[in-house]
Structure 1
Amino acid sequence: MNRICLCLPTNRACAATITAIHQEAAYAAGRFGADVQLLILDSSDDRTRAAHARAVAALPPTDHVIVHHFDEYAQRVFLHRTIERAGLPDPGRLLRLMLPPAVSYGACTNRAFLLATALGCASLHRRDSDSAYQLHAGRPVFPVHHELPHLGRPAAEAAAAVTRTDLAPALLHHPVSLAGASFIGELSVDIAEMRRLDPGVHHDVVSLWAPGHWPEERKRDLVEESFTGAGSAPFTGDHSTLTVVDPMRVDMCNIAFDRAVYERVPLPPATDTIGSDYFLLHLVHDAGLPGILHNRHIENFHTPERRTDTGFSAYQRRFVKFLLSMLYFHDVYDRMAAEGDRLLDDHRQVRAGRIVEFLRASTGLDRAENVWRLDRVDTAYRKLGGRYAVFAGRLAGERAQLLDQAASDIEDYAHLAEAWPALVRAAAAPGHGDGRP
């Protein structure tokens, strides 16, 4: 029986999502005969977590579905034990990178990766708490429908089942490493208000996530498709493509990875940085690993907290940190693209050491481009006025700190990536396989 990890990381109220994802787990078990480890990583406050516990307790018993609801204390115990088993130097730093005190999209998924390994899972399927399943003919549209049959299997087997194949014949004997789709509904990054207030400012700001040397036409194309997902058209029927998946076509709220990917390289553990969990999409693409791109898109929505003054400021800072991180990641992406399938060893496994080398090489980049980015953000936000101008004023006092953080984030990532193989081995060690603290 194929054991999988269906994962929901959350730091907000989402009892309805817990109920819905359990239905997807039941679908995976009933339709495909999977052994589903439903993993809820809960970083919410005590009251919200208690409501989640009640939602978990109310879930109907389901054959071949086991629910794990871990608060941060349980996660910390598991991580402490794993890091101790790995015997790595500076265990305190590793624990902070795996479970930081601030929001980290990459770190929460890294914890899921290690727990999936401890649970003996062959793949990890991630969903988000601020999204929901579409309905078609009154039934939920579960992405696992396209994820489960093919992950880890030779691409040639998937070719007979998908709607379309767009894959070089030489890649057909390689395993499917990723399956994913996108979302419909609100923008994945909460900047729709900016676009309504001033489309020109929206263009100026969003284009800052492109490399500085790109021509304007290419930047315009990037802005046009950025954070829009699959648009707004609802699901009407299945369509799937066997291909090397473009990272712009999938979203981390609707993704599944084979263990051969996430057990080799983790995600960036940067805190307070949106988009810090997308690195593996680029790695799979640049290494030329086959994937399934399907159309069971998830509905995206924004929680009201982001619209409060406190939530607005916190979210905009995460967005700015994302823009600054691009100085380093574009350099790494360029190196990975140039390396191509040389990123893989003779067993079609990612050469994790090469990724560490690329990350370390990027840490010495000149920060001038990021100074320019901060200048552009300051001008744009002051032009918008209101709370954007207030935020720009606050940002001006944090410039040096933000530049330092962007650089240290990539150094931390290199450190974690170097330690990752030992952490994975420790998580998979005998006696550690139930995933429990």
Structure 2
Amino acid sequence: MRRVCLTLPTHRACTGTIAAIAEEAADGAAEFGAEIHLLILDSSPAPVLAEHRQAVAALPASPGVTVHHLDEDEQRAFLREVATRSAGASADRLLELMLPSRVSYGACTNRAFLIAQALRCTSVHRRDSDSRYQYADGRPVFPLHQELTYLGQRADDVRQSATRSKLPPGSGDRRVAVAGGSFVGEMSVDVAEIRDLDPDTYGELVGLSLPEDCPEIWRNHLIDASFRGAGNGAFDRDHATLAPISPMRVDMCNIGFDHELYRRVPLPPAPDTIGTDYFLLHLTHDARLPGLQHNRHIVNFHTEERRTDAGFLAYQLRFAKFLLAKAYLNTVYARTAAAGDALLDTEGHITASTVAGFVRDSVSLDRTDVARRLDAVDRAYRRLGGRYTTVADALAGRRSRLLDEARDDMADFAHLMDHWEALTGASAEAGLAVTR
């Protein structure tokens, strides 16, 4: 029986999302005859964790669905065993990269990848705590349907079932490595305010995420499309495009990965940095691996925490770190784009050592560009004024540390990549006890 992992990483209250994702798991098990492992990776504070435990206990039993609700202590115990099996003396450093003390969008998904390996799953499907499902004809529209239909299948075998195909020549024998949709509804509340306050400053900041050699005509289009998702359209019927997926067209709250991808290459574990968890999307696109882009978009909403002063400051610092990280990541993406098919081995799988070499080489990047980016962010926030001045002051007070972290995060990523296949192998050997 096909085993898949539907995962919800969270560090905040989301009992409604837990109930909704359990319904998606039950629907997927019933429709596809699959064994669905619903994995909730919970880093919430104790009172919220207790609420989540009650919500999980209240879930109705569903045939084919097994629920795993792991707090950080339980995750740490599993990761320590796996790291010790695979790396011995380096276990402590790997454990810190897998479960850092600060928020890491890449690390939480990497933990899901390792646990999925332990559960012998063939795919990982990620949702987020601040998302809901669309409804059509009174029923929720679950992305898992499209993900399970296409993931891991030979592209030519499912070409006819897609609405359209834009596969590059010669890629039809390759397996579908990723399936994803976007979101509808509100764009990111944090950057939406910047756009509303000063569109030119918004364009300047978002433009820092793009490659410097991006043609002007494309630059303006990409800036306009960033953080916007799929707009406000409602689901009417399925539209599925079989093609290498652009990272701009899908969202990490609505994504599924085949195990042949994530068991070879992890995500950057950079803490307090948005956007770095899109690394595998860039990689599969550049390697011309088949993907499935669908329109079962998640409904985006924002928790009240994001609207508080503390939540605002935390996100803006993560956004600024993302703009610094892109100095390094864009050099890697330029090389993966140039390599194209050469990123793959003879069986059509990513060659992890090649990618690790690109990441390691980026660490030696001249920090002049990174410092220039930080200066540009500082000026932009001071121009916006108000509470953005507080952000600029916080960035200025951490300037040296931020520059060091942007470089060190890439070195940590290269180190994790060097050990990743040993970690995924050790996870498969360790297994995971069934919790429900």
What TM-score, normalized by structure 1, do the two folds share? 0.97
Aligned to 2:277, the other structure's residue is in SS state coil
User: What is the rounded CA distance, in whole Å, between the counterparts of 2:185 and 2:418 in structure 1?
Assistant: 38
Q: Which moved more, 1:10-19 or 1:81-90?
A: 81-90
Matched with 1:266 is 266
Q: Partners in 2 of 1:262 and 1:242 — Cα distance?
A: 20
* Matched residue, 2:166: 166
Q: Which moved more, 1:319-328 or 1:79-88?
A: 79-88
- Report how far residue 89 of structure 1 moved: 3.6
Judged with a 3 Å threshold, the aligned counterparts in structure 2 of structure 1 residues 65 and 196 are, in CA distance, closer, same or farther, namely: same
- The amino acid of 1:379's aligned partner reads R
2:189–2:302 Cα contact (<8 Å) kept: no
In structure 1, the residue matched to 2:354 is 354
- Alpha-carbon distance in 2 for matches of 1:382, 1:94: 38
Within a 5 Å distance, the mapping from 1:309-320 to structure 2 comes to 309-320=309-320
One-letter identity of the residue aligned with 2:105:
Y
Deviations, residues 196-217 of structure 1 (Å, cap 9, x unaligned): 1111111111111123344543
What's the CA shift for 1:435?
7.0
33-42 vs 166-175, which moves further: 166-175
The aligned residue for residue 304 of structure 1 is 304
What is the CA–CA distance in structure 2 between the aligned matches of 1:306 and 1:295, rounded to whole Å?
Answer: 26
- Paired with 1:213 and 1:400, the residues of 2 have a C-alpha distance of 27
The 8 Å contact of residues 187 and 228 in structure 2, kept in 1 or not, is answered as yes
Give the secondary-structure state (helix, strand or coil) at the position aligned to 1:67: strand
Task: Measure the CA separation in 2 of the matches of 1:299 and 1:148.
Answer: 20
Instruction: Establish whether residue 121 from structure 1 lines up as the match of residue 118 from structure 2.
Output: no
Residues 308-387 of structure 1 correspond to what in structure 2 (within 5 A)? Answer: 308-387=308-387
Q: What is the correspondence of 1:3-402 to structure 2 with a 5 Å cutoff? A: 3-188=3-188, 190-402=190-402
Does structure 1 retain, via aligned residues, the 8 Å contact 2:165–2:243?
yes
Report runs of 4+ in structure 1 exceeding 6 Å deviation.
Answer: none
Percentage of identical aligned residues: 55
Q: Deviations over 1:286-315 (max 9, x none)?
A: 111111111000011111112211111111
Query: Is the 1:182–1:295 contact (alpha carbons within 8 Å) kept by the matching residues of 2?
Result: yes
Call closer, same or farther: CA 1:216–1:161 in 2, change over 3 Å: closer
* Contact 2:66–2:434 under 8 Å retained in 1: no
For 1:36 and 1:63, locate their aligned partners in 2 and report how far apart those are by CA, in whole Å.
9
Paired with 1:189 and 1:323, the residues of 2 have a C-alpha distance of 18
Counterpart-to-counterpart distance in 2, 1:82 and 1:435: 17
Change (3 A) 1:435 1:114: farther
Partner of 2:431 in structure 1? 432
8 Å Cα contact 2:168-2:288 kept in structure 1: no
1:405 & 1:399 partners in 2: Cα distance? 10
Name the amino acid aligned to 1:322. F
Secondary structure (helix, strand or coil) at the match of 1:125 reads: strand
- What is the alpha-carbon root mean square deviation over aligned residues? 1.3
- For residues 244 and 189 of structure 2, what CA distance do their matches in structure 1 show? 25
Secondary structure of 1:62 counterpart: coil
Match for 1:262: what amino acid?
A: Y
- Call closer, same or farther: CA 1:435–1:328 in 2, change over 3 Å: farther
SS of corresponding position for 1:395: helix
Structure 2: any 5+ residue segments left out of the alignment? none
SS in 1 for 2:306: helix
How many angstroms apart in 1 are the aligned matches of 2:171 and 2:198? 45
Distance 2:212 2:154 in 1: 39
Gaps of 5+ in 1: none
Q: Structure 1 CA distance, aligned partners of 2:50 and 2:207?
A: 42
| Structure 1 residues 68 and 433: CA distance shift in structure 2, 3 A | closer
Q: Distance between the aligned counterparts of 2:85 and 2:72, measured in 1? A: 20
Structure 2 distance, partners of 1:435, 1:316, is 39
Partner of 2:364: helix, strand, or coil? Answer: coil
